[in-house]
Chains A and B, each alone.
Chain A
């Protein structure tokens, strides 16, 4: 191995692929970053078996095709601190490729390699493209849904740790739930060539989001294979393992005809909830909303034995059709309101033990809020 490349290209490739570096001590080879040289391309590769990143950059190759594996953590630290020089060269020093010499300006590193034959096979990009997706829209979809999942360590229900990505008609639906609240975002897709549903762990999706946000391109192409979903954009491919579990039938739990609309100024409601949450009972975090069909206001209160009580009157944009009294875990409503940008939100309710539906409303829905809705189950309080 002997090649020269632009420093910026290498730094970019190392940085992106390092998002997929493994940390499991049971498979030390996964802490390695694999470099595959093929003619005038260098392919940087990392995986923890849940996700993989492959990043191609151009090189000026001075020898044949070859593959080596370097310590990923060390390589990415070096990439982040290279001196100001345009070009960088990498070359195997010994005959058996056990050491790679990296030179950049006046700096040189001798890096030991890891056994390349131990490195797992990463599935190649499948032939058939299934969809293309706008990166910006994906990012908003991720931001407005992934928060609603459970952390992988918190549950035995794997389906609740993932975001369900549904490719259907002309749109992409992203849905996430922790079993008590559900966030859904529907965005237009560039094109959908094959419909399907893919459940991906929120942590993996978060790394995908970070990778996509650093690539200049605006549209990612999607490919699938058994158990994996691939996102390809310019020279970068992100492979995400799908969760082999059915996502709950979310369409059933989205209220369709809640008759009571509480129309709020989003920011006012958010700030009130953040105040009233302070005295909510520790176990439930519940705040109670009370509205009548006589005034355009909601009373929100909370109380707990040890922290005290709080009440606040929040203005509504119109008088609700019916009165209602309902309690929610404040955190669940705050989570959603914080991730919206619209001035006005409507909270559609039916009765004190039925799910509420929160969505952006009014004449000025923020473009980033289009297609967002949030379902939250109430807390049942008994004295």
Chain B
């Protein structure tokens, strides 16, 4: 190790996880394009196998688009319970190396191996062993990045997917980061990327060399964070058990909707789909939120805490509709995107059952 004070953070990402599990359980799917996601009229792709990605199918695109890109693909609904089971096997392996494991989702986790290096030897050997043990136990591949912080570890795990193992040493950071586009930075979405490009900042190097004052003036506090990330700095700790899971569905409407009733009709199936994911995953949500993007791209989110955590489709739907009616001023503007999400998820060990749980109960 070149720098004894550096942290050793690993990011592990299961390769095309949902699709890979389907190929594992159904040998006839192997080597073929498999697309997992909602199969309803407005479904969205959750995961596409690498075979399907060759056709241009990506996660988060509408299922209808996937079908036109890859008409011969195998389309299946997600089986969260099975994914959870395999995720649990991976979790057990990771916890052997350190208690500092933070699961971000079923197929993704951060590990802080700084302390365990003393007892288990170099982290480089550790992550290679993790990869092997995950393959042995689950028959699935994963990609791992090892770096001095979370940002770089995640970036490293994405560099050589699938089945990749990339280590970023402190003295390599700038060399690896500099040529990447600004969009490679965690949290830089399309909008921020466009704004940065507007400032003439295309690569991470451009961003790193830009005066911090300019970034703060143009982007606010986020500007400072971006500048730090461009230098490869990130102090965020790995927090075991944080598991800030959430579930959400959103849909970009084929044309802007103006009528309240139509907007509500677009929102309802999203809410039901989110609740159904909760039930499949045996999770309860304490917070329901909605997202509305108007024709002019102004985006608002509204959320409310429930009295008791729920997985009830009726409650999630009714709450989402209430949020839309009471907390969003539509003012006759067209809506181009609408979404429903749930947060503060917990295992469904204790669930306060609701009195009114169906359409019919609420006149």
Q: Which residues of A contact B (CB under 8 A)?
A: 150, 154-158, 177-182, 246, 248-249, 252-253, 281, 283-284, 286, 327, 329, 353, 355, 375, 377-383
Contact = CB atoms under 8 A, between A and B. Distances in A.
A156 to B, nearest CB: 4
B355 A375 contact: yes
A202 to B, nearest CB: 15
Contact of A246 (B327, B349, B363): B363
B304 A155 contact: yes
Given A156-B304, A156-B319, A180-B308, A377 B350 contact: no
A158 B305 CA distance: 14
Given A156-B304, A248-B362, A283 B346 contact: yes
Contacts of B222: none
B247 interface: no
A182 B307 CA distance: 14
Contact of A180 (B326, B352, B361, B362): B352
Interface in B310-363: 315, 318-319, 322-323, 326-327, 346, 348-356, 360-363
Given A180-B307, A353-B353, A383-B349, 5 more contacts: A157-B318, A246-B363, A248-B356, A248-B362, A329-B352
A355 B355 contact: yes
B264 to A, nearest CB: 14
Nearest to A249: B363
A181 B349 CA distance: 20
A382 B349 contact: yes
B355 to A, nearest CB: 5
Contacts of B363: 246, 248-249
Given A154-B307, A155-B307, A253 B355 contact: yes
B62 interface: no
Given A156-B319, A182-B355, A380 B350 contact: yes
Contact of B350 (A157, A248, A249, A286): A286
A70 B104 CA distance: 60
Contacts of A179: 307, 315, 354-356
A349 to B, nearest CB: 13
A258 to B, nearest CB: 15
B319 A379 contact: no
Closest 4 CB pairs of A and B: A284-B350, A156-B322, A377-B353, A380-B351
Contacts of A248: 355-356, 361-363
B355 A180 contact: yes
A379 B307 contact: no
B309 interface: yes
Prevailing SS type, chain B contact patch: mixed
A156 B307 contact: no
A150 B305 CA distance: 12
B96 to A, nearest CB: 23
Nearest to A376: B355
Given A156-B323, A157-B318, A249-B361, A178 B307 contact: yes
Contacts of B361: 248-249, 252-253
B307 A380 contact: no
A381 B323 CA distance: 30
A181 to B, nearest CB: 7
B354 A156 contact: no
A77 B363 CA distance: 46
A154 B306 CA distance: 8
A327 B351 CA distance: 10
Nearest to B323: A156
6 contacts: A158-B326, A180-B308, A181-B355, A248-B362, A281-B350, A355-B355
A150 B353 contact: no
Contacts of B308: 180, 284, 329
Contact of A156 (B326, B346, B353, B356): B326
Given A155-B304, A156-B327, A249-B363, A379 B348 contact: no
A253 B323 CA distance: 25
A180 B348 contact: no
B322 A377 contact: no
B322 A378 contact: no
Nearest to B309: A283
Interface string B280-310: 0000000000000000000000001101110
Contacts of A157: 318-319, 322
A248 B358 CA distance: 11
Nearest to B346: A283
B309, B315, B327, B362, most chain A CB atoms within 10 A: B362
Contact of A381 (B322, B326, B349, B355): B349
A381 B351 CA distance: 6
A161 B360 CA distance: 21
Contacts of A246: 362-363
Contacts of A382: 348-351
Nearest to A286: B350
A236 B356 CA distance: 38
A49 B187 CA distance: 45
A326 B360 CA distance: 26
Nearest to A355: B355
Contacts of B304: 155-156
A343 B8 CA distance: 66
Nearest to A281: B350
A164 to B, nearest CB: 12
Interface string B90-116: 000000000000000000000000000
A249 B309 CA distance: 22
A246 to B, nearest CB: 5
Contacts of A375: 355
B353 A380 contact: yes
Contacts of B346: 283
A253 B360 CA distance: 11
B327 A379 contact: no
B354 to A, nearest CB: 6
Contacts of A283: 309, 346, 350
Contacts of B309: 283
A353 B326 CA distance: 33
Contacts of B351: 284, 379-380, 382
